[in-house]
A and B are shown apart, each in its own frame.
Chain A
Amino acid sequence: MAAPLSVEVEFGGGAELLFDGVKKHQVTLPGQEEPWDIRSLLVWIKKNLLKERPELFIQGDSVRPGILVLVNDADWELLGELDYQLQDQDSVLFISTLHGG
């Protein structure tokens, strides 16, 4: 059983428009059986933060191509992408590089 985590989720490059224009979200992820990774964080975001048009942010079980993911200001490709296990106080940033956000 993983303990609850407190993480900062941030959106930029226009991605925030799908989240009521709010860029920074301080969120608490509840404790659960499996450890929290980016894959499960995305599911949680879709359920709890995403306000509209989920297909413009999430495709399949990952982010839409063209949206960059940074964990603590580092490329998630260095950290195992969807499999990165979140730590307490991590900051996760999603930047859209798509035209029009």
Chain B
Amino acid sequence: CEMSEEYRESAPKGPPPPRLGTGDQKCVKCKEGLPVVVIRAGDAFCRDCFKALYVHKFRAMLGKSRLIFPGEKVLLAWSGGPSSSSMVWQVLEGLSRDSAKRLRFVPGVVYIDEGAACGQSPEDRARTLAEVKLALQTTGFPWHAVALEEVFSLPPSALRCSAQEAAGTEGAYKAAVDSFLQQQHALGTNGVERQSQHCAQDPQSPTGPPTTAQTQALSRLFDSVKTLTAKEELLQTLRTHLILHVARNHGYSKVMTGDSCTRLAIKLMTSLALGRGAFLAWDTGFSDERHGDVVVVRPMREHTLKEVAFYNRLFAVPSICTPALDTKAPEKASIHRLMEAFILRLQAQFPSTVSTVYRTSEKLVKAPRAGCAAGPRCLLCMCTLDVDTADSATAFGAQTSHLPQMQTPVTQARAAAGPCCCAGMGGAPGCCKREDPRAQVMEQLCYGCRVNMKDLPSLELLPPYILSEAQLRSQRATAEQEIREYLLGDSEDEAGTGES
């Protein structure tokens, strides 16, 4: 036994040790400890070295990005699942460290109760919520437990992308760190205490349970969706809107989500399949600035799900298992499910699959198509619209061409309203409403969201904030178009008179 140890020490870069029945194998890092987990294709780590690596990865992710300013309010999006629980735990640990290594932002936690969308019974929901609240209270952070039903009382402004904050430059970060340190110094140890007190002080009481009508409306909406794929996407959209609304309402400027490297690899492939290729960099990158004032950050994106599961097990990180939309669903039930099975099966045979896909996502650059940067945003996913009339010759164009095009809402409206109202042709319902609400929503969506909404037979079931914002935007577009035509006509006239 000792002999083999010496041999391995003298040749640390040798071939990986045989994997079968190796009771005498040692940790690749410290060469002493008994290994408990194999990560990164064959590297065996002992408990302590694994913990050190795990914690380091989390802190390095936050540190090297220089995105989270000291003293900044950060909202942790916690679903109860393993990755987000591990993230909350990392923040808890990071805040309890000695001052030099202490994380310096001010966290809060948000939990979205999706029970109604997933068809949970009221009793099960109540039980889960009680468990959730208990877990939230033990963190000592301010917390917000919000039912997904609240989307029915969101204001249309939730869909507006607020003006971009001054981009966090290197200099700004340094200045913020310096001023924070000065503050801390002036306050002495008192400041630290006060800060932690503040954390424990005002646990935001949740805004009452949802009304039965809202719960019914939500289940009606989800029941109406024809495919599990579209349900998953809709849930994700509504959840994001709600989390951002909570963040804005309570002055959080960052939201942290627990997406792991495995999940992001799956998400990348799923997004491609869903026609969201143009937005991969936002959907899977470390930071997502599409919402302007609130930036979404993914600090767990270097951790694989295996590492998360092992860490949570070895260090007793509590998590709450709640059934999701796809619980017990067969492998081919949705694109999400299928892609997950595909990636994981490939990973089982080729252990670098996830990391290869994930590295690809890291290299993607956030650059919208030329001339589209300031263009209109998708109503649902808030990405810069990727639909273009110039694409009409492609398959992509063919799929979207039957929808009214973004560029010509006025002519569309006129064409629809003209013959209908004047000649009373067809007597289509809502002919005097200027435009069909479905078209009104559809024309403001990106390609991926359009395809998705095809599986929603009646958009009227969507929460009111989406419909009214769609109407508002469409009216604004019409008005703008009219003004532009007026101005254009004017200048043409002028040009004409000038010439003659």
Contact = CB atoms under 8 A, between A and B. Distances in A.
A14 B324 CA distance: 10
Nearest to A74: B36
Interface of B: 19-22, 25, 34-38, 44, 82, 262-263, 305-306, 308-310, 313-314, 321, 323-331, 336-337, 340-341, 344-345, 347-348
Contacts of B336: 99
A98 B19 CA distance: 25
Interface string A69-80: 010011101111
A66 to B, nearest CB: 4
B309 A95 contact: yes
B36 A99 contact: no
Nearest to A79: B21
Contact of B82 (A13, A70, A74, A79): A13
A78 B344 contact: no
Contacts of A77: 19, 38
Interface in A40-88: 52-53, 55-56, 65-66, 68, 70, 73-75, 77-80, 83
Contact of A17 (B20, B44, B313, B323): B323
A78 B340 contact: no
Nearest to B336: A99
B39 to A, nearest CB: 9
A28 interface: no
A17 B337 CA distance: 17
A100 interface: yes
Contacts of B324: 99-101
Interface in A3-43: 12-14, 16-18
Contact of A101 (B21, B321, B347): B321
Nearest to B342: A65
A66 B337 CA distance: 12
A78 B326 contact: no
B326 A99 contact: yes
B7 to A, nearest CB: 19
B309 A100 contact: no
A11 to B, nearest CB: 11
A100 B262 contact: no
B164 to A, nearest CB: 33
A92 interface: no
Contact of B314 (A73, A78, A97, A101): A73
Contacts of B38: 75, 77-78
A95 B365 CA distance: 35
Given A78-B36, A80-B20, A97 B329 contact: no
Contacts of B325: 100
A70 B336 CA distance: 27
A66 B321 contact: no
Nearest to A98: B340
Contact of B309 (A18, A53, A83, A97): A97
A13 B306 CA distance: 11
Nearest to A85: B21
Nearest to A95: B309
B20 A97 contact: no
A66 B344 contact: yes
A36 to B, nearest CB: 16
A80 B23 CA distance: 10
A59 B321 CA distance: 23
A92 to B, nearest CB: 13
Given A65-B344, A97-B82, A97-B262, A78 B22 contact: yes
Contact of B328 (A53, A65, A95): A53
30 contacts: A13-B82, A13-B309, A14-B321, A14-B327, A17-B323, A17-B327, A18-B328, A55-B330, A56-B330, A65-B341, A65-B344, A65-B345, A66-B340, A73-B36, A73-B313, A74-B35, A75-B35, A75-B38, A78-B38, A78-B44, A80-B21, A97-B82, A97-B305, A97-B309, A98-B340, A98-B344, A99-B263, A100-B326, A100-B329, A101-B321
A90 B37 CA distance: 17
B314 A100 contact: no
Contacts of A13: 82, 309, 321
A73 B328 CA distance: 26
Nearest to B44: A78
A8 to B, nearest CB: 14
